Amino acid sequence: MGGVLVDLDIEDCKNAFKSLLGYDKIDELIDPCHQKGIYGDLEEGILSAEDFRKIVLADSRPGSAPQLVDQAMYHILVGIAPYKAEMLKKLSESYDLYMLSNNNPICLPRSRKLFEEAGAPLDETFRKSFFSFEMKALKPSEAFYKAVVEEIGLPAEQMLFIDDSQKNVDGSIAAGLPAVYYEPGTDLSALIAEVLGNPDLKMEGAC
């Protein structure tokens, strides 16, 4: 999701934690692909959203409200490029689409809203979504990919996984699930058109 379909702004998120909460430890936790510490525990389902907020607030400016934690986290999510929403609609006409995401219960509702605003609601666009905090496993663990392939119920070689982390791509391939790396900010539709050998998937107005 993040980095491939939803554009991210890591620095804006860090700045929001510091300005809204006075929480400076965020620099140790947040990463474009693989979150660390309590943030990683939140995405792996080890920590609940409530417990995460409490831990952050304990090291934040006195009197900070829990909703400020959520507001700060939302700053990581920028939006979905219009061409990507159109690309998803076109792809769904010929392919079954699945979402695989290291995600958390605080950011997911905001992510859903972004997909709705883009005209590609998650539950309508994807046959199923696999979120790390629900699966209790993170990409690039083998357990994550194996569980996804088993749930989908098709041979792994008939699937294609796309990620903006080379580590996640390598983990997927090691688990037997074909994968390609996407560089954020480049034309996602061109990559998919090339990999699938279908030039018609190249979208107009792409970056």
User: Domain boundary at 19, 44, 77, which?
Assistant: 77
User: Domain boundary at 50, 77, 104, which?
Assistant: 77
Environment class of 81 (CB within 10 Å of its CB; exposed 0-12, middle 13-18, buried 19+)? buried
pLDDT of residue 207: 62
Q: Which residues contact 64 (CB under 8 A, 6 or more apart)?
A: 20, 21, 22, 57
d(CA 5, CA 126): 13
pLDDT of residue 52: 98
Domain hosting residue 23, numbered range: 6-77
Contact (Cβ atoms closer than 8 angstroms) between residue 197 and residue 191: no
State the Rg of the chain over Cα: 17
Average the pLDDT over 86-94 and give the result: 94
Residues 98 and 175 in one domain: yes
Do the domain assignments include residue 23?
A: yes
pLDDT class for 60, splitting at 50, 70, 90?
very high
Residues 16 and 50 in one domain: yes
pLDDT of residue 34: 77
Do the domain assignments include residue 21?
A: yes
d(CA 127, CA 207): 27
Do the domain assignments include residue 130?
A: yes
Average the pLDDT over 24-31 and give the result: 91
Q: Is 80 exceeded by the pLDDT of residue 32?
A: no
Residues 196 and 160 in one domain: yes
Residues 105 and 193 in one domain: yes
Q: What is the CATH number of the domain that holds 146?
A: 3.40.50.1000
